[in-house]
Amino acid sequence: MNYELRYDGDLGIIRGVVHGKLDAAVARMVAGEVAQLVEDHGCRRFLIDLRGTQVTSSTIEIYTIPRVVKEVGVPGGLKRALVVTEITPDFEFLETASVNAGNLVKLFTEPEAALAWLKG
């Protein structure tokens, strides 16, 4: 697994891309860095490109990801756009679990649509 995160000052968003397996351990590492970027830049919008990932988690582990993200300090009011190749049942469940945990999360298959939603 590899990933890259950065603050895009031109758009006023945090951008990320992840490749490889996606599970709670990866979510914890990425979320820790996102929390730091949120603190450093005061940014409340996050776009993460997950098109290069494979969900390797069980349903129970997917359910825990929103809690893991919160534990490392990502604020609940962060608007998060997840860009995926295909909206699969695993990604739909992650979105639902995140929303049910009080997060503002939405799935997209097109980065342009994700950016428009983040700006809106």
pLDDT tens digits for 97-115?
999 999 999 999 999 999 9
Query: Is the distance from CB of 35 to CB of 74 less than 8 angstroms?
Result: yes
- The rounded distance, in Å, linking the Cα atoms of 45 and 42 is 9
Q: Using CA atoms, how far apart are residues 101 and 119, in angstroms rounded to an integer?
A: 23
Choose which CATH entry (3.20.20.70, 1.20.930.40, 3.30.750.24, 1.10.3720.10) describes domain 2-119: 3.30.750.24
The domain spans of the chain are: 2-119
> Phi and psi dihedrals of 94, rounded to 5?
-60, -45
Q: What pLDDT does residue 40 have?
A: 96
Going by pLDDT thresholds of 50, 70 and 90, the confidence category of residue 17 is: very high
d(CA 69, CA 88): 21
Burial 15-34 (b: 16+ CB within 10 A, else e): bbbbeeebbbebbeebbbbb
